[in-house]
Amino acid sequence: MFLTFVTFLPLAGAAFLIFTPKENAAAIKQTALAVAAADFLLSLFLWTNFDNTTHKMQFELNVPWIEAWGINFHVGLDGISLLLYVMTTFLTMICVIASWDVKKYIREYMIAMLTLSTGMLGVFVALDLFMFYVFWEFQLIPMYIIIGVWGGPRRVYASIKFFLFTAVGSLLMLVAILWIYFHIQETTGVATADILYITEHLSAPLGTQKWLWMAFFLAFAIKVPMFPFHTWLPDAHVEAPTAGSVILAGVLLKMGTYGFLRFNLPFFPQVSYEFVPMVAWLSIIGIIYGALVSMVQIDLKKLVAYSSVSHLGFVMLGIFALNPYGIQGALIQNINHGISTGALFLLVGVIYDRRHTRLIEEFGGLSKVMPKYAVCFMIVALSSIGLPGMNGFVGEFLILLGIFQVNAIWAACATSGIILAACYILWMFQRVMFMEAKNPKNLALQDINIREAFTIVPLIILIFWIGLYPKPFMDTFDTSVTHLVAKVSPDNFGPSPRNRHDDQRGKHARLITPTEMASLHHKLQAPKKF
């Protein structure tokens, strides 16, 4: 119940704002901030009460929603979703502060922001496929509005592109969800869309599983975004207002990687295992392509946007290493990317607010004019590169460690991405911060103010905290990752596909049939009522 409360608190705040007179901008902003901050503190409370020693769902609530279809309102958190959940409330709070100077329709803006927050939180806590889908689509609306109303010159194009890309992917996922629903009903006799139940009982033929996997893959790969589905991202990022970009990079992209961990891997372990090379190569292409394209960008925001493609490639690579290092690295890198890229967008927003341009060539020598700003930017930039002692290093190192165990060539290719990251970030930093301050418009720029410091300093603290002492973060998902890895381990589905050609057993190995599954399930669950 508490979790539900925390999830829907922002929506309640948004509903409250509807009745606030729109002339009273200060009160609107303060209310929004109060709601967001309260939500963040409550989510911290969830974290402190979280039991690290189990992979099971916690703070669960399971009540019937659409009884005729066996669909429940089922929420819960485990190690995989907890940090993402907390990060969502945290970034929402930061974004409300960062949007303090929004002039246009501030009330509608805050309503959209808070609604978006509930939509995203819902995605991370939903434990029913139907519910998950509802939240997954629902959060599109406020984000679409935020980009489309408060965005840059090409905002309409960018917002529609964002919406349609995500919608196409997720609609195919809907077909897969329906198929799974009826399949589960047929094989086990239980009409349910419960994710935990499906994880335990899904036993489709391998050929069908591949199709289902592809449907989920498309939805999540577009969201992540993986190469070649990334084209919506630069447009959306460039046109979105600063806070929109932060949320987009910090949370929305993570919904994609979360989807892989929650659905693709546990639902279809064997298929995931077989698709590892494809995903790995797409990720590597994404890493290198994203980095190379970043290098030639003339717009700061676009540079950061393409760097996201590159960084998310790392996360995907870590997930599909399918070993503890890889997945732990991916999870922590999820958080890191949210913090570092979020901070980068905030910092770009700071100079955009002052100069109304983001072109790199317009700047130069800012370190003399805005020294505090330059220091913050340096820290964040280095964290984005993955300098030891900062958060990026922990994640990338773990991911590389994980992927190296699978394939050394992949690890080598991915490492080149880190070098390229250093190139584009440092080169950009040099052109913006150092060199001579030629442009007279830059000479009188204000350094970072208190409000902006309030948005960036917490992120910098986290950068060092995760970089130096990641244990509290890593502990939350340790057990869940171990459980997940055991689930996707090739031991579960007969001889590994790689040895199949020289292993005769492979021909006879088969999946447990639905009827066997049903009878087993019947035996196990006999005394328990569903």
Partner 1 sequence: MEPILAPESIDLIALAPVIVLSVFAMMVLVVDLFGARDKGLLAFISLIGLLMTTISAFAKNPIPAYSFNDSYTVDHLSLFFICIFTISSALAILLSVEYNKREGIRAGEYYALILFCTVGMILLASSSDMIMIFLGVEIVSICLYVLAGIQRDNHRSNEAALKYFLLGAFATGFLLYGMALVYGSTGNTNLFKIADFMQNPSAQSNPLLLMGLVLLIIGFGFKVASVPFHMWAPDVYQGAPTPVTAFMAVGPKAAAFAAFFRVFAETFAAMAPSWEILLSIIAVLSMFFGNLGAIMQTNIKRMLAFSSISHAGYILIAVIAKNSLGSASLLFYMLTYAFTIFGIFGVIIILGRKGEENLEIKCYSGLAYKHPILAISMAIFLLSLGGLPPFAGFIAKFYIFSAAIQEGFIALVIIAVLNSAISFYYYLKVIVYIYMEEPTAEFKVSMSPLTLFVVLVGVAATINIGIFPGSIIALASH
- In the block, which residue shows the tokens 């922990």? 394
Minimum gap (Å) between residue 23 Cβ and partner 1: 14
Contact 272, 202 (CB under 8 A): no
Give whichever of 26 and 68 is closer to partner 1, judged by the CB atom. 68
Give whichever of 168 and 461 is closer to partner 1, judged by the CB atom. 168
Contacts for 199 with CB less than 8 Å, ≥ 6 apart: 266, 267, 487
Minimum gap (Å) between residue 387 Cβ and partner 1: 41
Signed CA dihedral, 248, 342, 363, 286: sign only: negative
Preceding amide of 228 cis, omega within 30: yes
Give whichever of 158 and 488 is closer to partner 1, judged by the CB atom. 158
Give whichever of 145 and 398 is closer to partner 1, judged by the CB atom. 145
Give whichever of 313 and 514 is closer to partner 1, judged by the CB atom. 514
Minimum gap (Å) between residue 266 Cβ and partner 1: 22
Minimum gap (Å) between residue 230 Cβ and partner 1: 18
Residue 275 to residue 250: CA distance in whole angstroms: 27
Minimum gap (Å) between residue 341 Cβ and partner 1: 26
Token representation of residue 121: 């939180």
Give whichever of 65 and 352 is closer to partner 1, judged by the CB atom. 65
Signed CA dihedral, 415, 296, 360, 253: sign only: negative
Token representation of residue 389: 């002692």
Contact 202, 517 (CB under 8 A): no
- CA-nearest of 206, 247, 228, 239 to 90 is 247
Give whichever of 126 and 428 is closer to partner 1, judged by the CB atom. 126
Give whichever of 225 and 318 is closer to partner 1, judged by the CB atom. 225
Minimum gap (Å) between residue 68 Cβ and partner 1: 4
488, amino acid identity? V
Contacts for 360 with CB less than 8 Å, ≥ 6 apart: 297, 298, 299, 300, 303, 428, 431, 432
Residue 282 to residue 276: CA distance in whole angstroms: 10
Element (H, E) at 61: strand 58-66
* Torsion-angle region of 494 (φ positive above 0: left; ψ -120 to 50: alpha; else: beta): left
Minimum gap (Å) between residue 329 Cβ and partner 1: 33
Residues found near partner 1 in the complex (CB under 8 A): 64-69, 105, 108, 130, 133-135, 137-138, 140-141, 144-145, 148-149, 155-156, 159-160, 163-164, 167-168, 171-172, 174-175, 178-179, 181-182
What does DSSP assign to residue 440? Answer: G
